[in-house]
Amino acid sequence: MKRKVTKAIFPVAGLGTRFLPATKSIPKEILTLVDRPLIQYAIDEARAAGIEEFIFVTSRGKGALEDYFDHSPVLEAELAAKGKQKLLDVLDTTNMDSGAIAYIRQHKALGLGHAVWCARKLIGDEPFAVILPDDVIAAEKPCLAQMVEAYQETGGCMVAAMEVPRDKVSSYGVLNIEAQFGNLYPVRGMVEKPKAGTEPSNLAVIGRYILTPDVLENLSQTEKGAGGEIQLTDAIAQEIVAGRPVNGLRFDGQRYDCGSKAGYLQATIAFALARDELRDELRDFMHELVAMDKAAQ
């Protein structure tokens, strides 16, 4: 019987240099899409997939991230005194029970694989999820929930996958696939950031994973790979060599790369347009901008 996936790792140790100067004092994961920070979307997705234990791999300067999930007695008392129950309900979704969150420090920026390896003692011998908050996925059924459902059928390791333009594949881990069974792709190889023209496909790994504890053992022995970092892709690829199953799931949903400024702005607009109270005013504003741009040309 396959063990239930109840633990998730959130690698959040990055410096967020693409968003300087904002990230000089604010962790990138606290930047908001409309009125919720990126990390809240990741947490909500994990909860919807049945995750009960949340492991954050952090670094120096991430105190605001830790504070975000704590209770705020002064603010809560102020809202209660003013009878603002709806806002109290919103705050309640950001609070985490004592012991539900653990924080591990990644002292050296040695890559995603190393960040996941840092949490090994809290994972033990259980399967676990990895969620990259930079990848925000809008979906009717949350992406990780889709993966957990598929994992119950396949076991082994699973990665979220999507097709990307050929000229973009060198920015991703790329799958070499055997066949296709619906949205599921048995994987026969993985390459991290392949050079242009050498990629085995245009099916790229997106920031959602379900992994076995064997991957942590692989990471203990994995040498630095692409970019001089310890790559998670390389450790997963070792599972294929060992004859253990690795599958790619082509998820249903729209992914936004909020690690880039353009992707972050696109996500902000998309999520705002999905809100009933914001849609009409924002749409009218956008029409006005387009009209002004055309008139200026």
Measured CA to CA, the distance from residue 265 to residue 71 in angstroms comes to 29
pLDDT digit string, tens, across residues 242-268 = 989 999 999 999 999 999 999 999 999
Q: Per-residue pLDDT for 41 more than 70?
A: yes
CA distances from 252 to 66, 161, 181, 185, 281 (A): 31, 10, 15, 14, 29
pLDDT tens digits, one per residue of 72-117: 888 888 889 888 888 888 888 887 776 788 989 888 878 899 999 9
More confident residue, 239 or 16: 239
What CA–CA distance (Å, rounded) separates 8 from 275? Answer: 28
- Six token digits for residue 182: 């619906």
Distance between CA atoms of residues 134 and 240, nearest Å = 27
Inter-axis angle of helices 261-273 and 276-296, to 10 degrees?
Answer: 130
For residue 222, what are its two tokens? Answer: 């994995």
Q: Is the pLDDT of residue 10 over 70?
A: yes
In this prediction, residues 26-55 reach a mean pLDDT of 92
Q: How confident is the model at residue 225 (pLDDT cuts 50, 70, 90)?
A: low
CB within 8 Å of 201: residues ≥ 6 apart? 174, 175, 176, 177
The structural domains of the chain, ordered by start, are 7-259 (3.90.550.10)
Mean pLDDT, residues 28-40 taken together: 91
Angle at 256 between CA 250 and CA 260, to 5 degrees: 130
pLDDT band at 199 (very low <50, low <70, confident <90, very high): confident
Q: Answer whether residue 226 shows pLDDT above 80.
A: no
pLDDT at 170: 83
Mean pLDDT of the chain: 88
Give me 126's structure tokens: 């259980």
Whether residue 233 is predicted with pLDDT greater than 70 in this model: the reply is yes
Average pLDDT of the residues in 167-187: 86
H/E/C letters for each residue in the chain?
CCCCCCEEEEECCCCCHHHCCHHHCCCHHHCEECCEEHHHHHHHHHHHCCCCEEEEEECCCCHHHHHHCCCCHHHHHHHHHCCCHHHHHHHHCCCCCCCCEEEEECCCCCCHHHHHHCCHHHHCCCCEEEECCCEEEECCCCHHHHHHHHHHHHCCEEEEEEECCHHHHHHCEEEEECCCECCEEEEEEEEECCCCCCCCCCEEEEEEEEECHHHHHHHHHCCCCHHHCCCHHHHHHHHHHCCCCEEEEECCCEEEECCCHHHHHHHHHHHHHCCHHHHHHHHHHHHHHHHHHHHHC
* Separation CA 228–CA 201 (nearest Å): 23
| Stretch among 106-120, 171-185, 215-229 having the lowest mean pLDDT | 215-229
217: confidence class by pLDDT, cuts 50, 70, 90 = very high
Q: In the prediction, which pLDDT does 142 show?
A: 96
Q: Is pLDDT of 1 > 60?
A: no
Name the band, by pLDDT with cuts 50, 70 and 90, for residue 38.
Answer: very high
Least confident of 48-52, 61-65, 76-80, 272-276: 61-65
Higher pLDDT, 223 or 1: 223
